[in-house]
Amino acid sequence: MSLSGEQQGQDVKVTVSITQNVPLDHNGSSDGSYVTFDGDNIHINVPVQATDTDGDDLDAPANVDITITDGANPSFGTDSGVTINESTDENKVIEGQIPLNVGSDEIANIA
């Protein structure tokens, strides 16, 4: 994550950039002061302090609230089914496929 600030008159425009390099794990506790979890949402609260040209800080830091929403969960599609004829398919192996939508994260295991 990177922050940059740009003065615009008497205001400051803050730009936040986030680069996600790996899947984000949000299965732990949600009692952090800067990072919390709410279902599929990861909330990051970043206090930003600014100092003017003669050294005065803001009375209180500005809070930049960032929410990252987890993507789609994996799911099975609809099986088109197979047909077995007990008279003509005796001793044959009949195979079918169930489509799997991987979602936004890699599959860790199938049980």
Q: Kindly state whether residue 98 falls inside one of the protein's structural domains.
A: no
Separation of alpha carbons 42 and 22, rounded Å: 14
Separation of alpha carbons 43 and 65, rounded Å: 7
DSSP three-state, residue 87: coil
Q: Kindly state whether residue 100 falls inside one of the protein's structural domains.
A: no
The CA dihedral of 22, 28, 32, 35, to the nearest 10 degrees, is 30
Q: Kindly state whether residue 81 falls inside one of the protein's structural domains.
A: no
- Asked if 51 and 33 touch (Cβ cutoff 8 Å), the reply is no
Count: domains in the chain: 1
Find the mean pLDDT for residues 19-27.
Answer: 75
**pLDDT on residue 34:** 85
**pLDDT on residue 59:** 92
Q: Which residue range is the domain that position 24 belongs to?
A: 2-69
- Asked if 40 and 69 touch (Cβ cutoff 8 Å), the reply is yes
Q: Kindly state whether residue 85 falls inside one of the protein's structural domains.
A: no
Q: Kindly state whether residue 101 falls inside one of the protein's structural domains.
A: no
**pLDDT on residue 27:** 65
Find the mean pLDDT for residues 86-105.
Answer: 85
Whole-model pTM: value is 0.58
pLDDT band, very low/low/confident/very high, at 26 (cuts 50, 70, 90): low
**pLDDT on residue 107:** 78
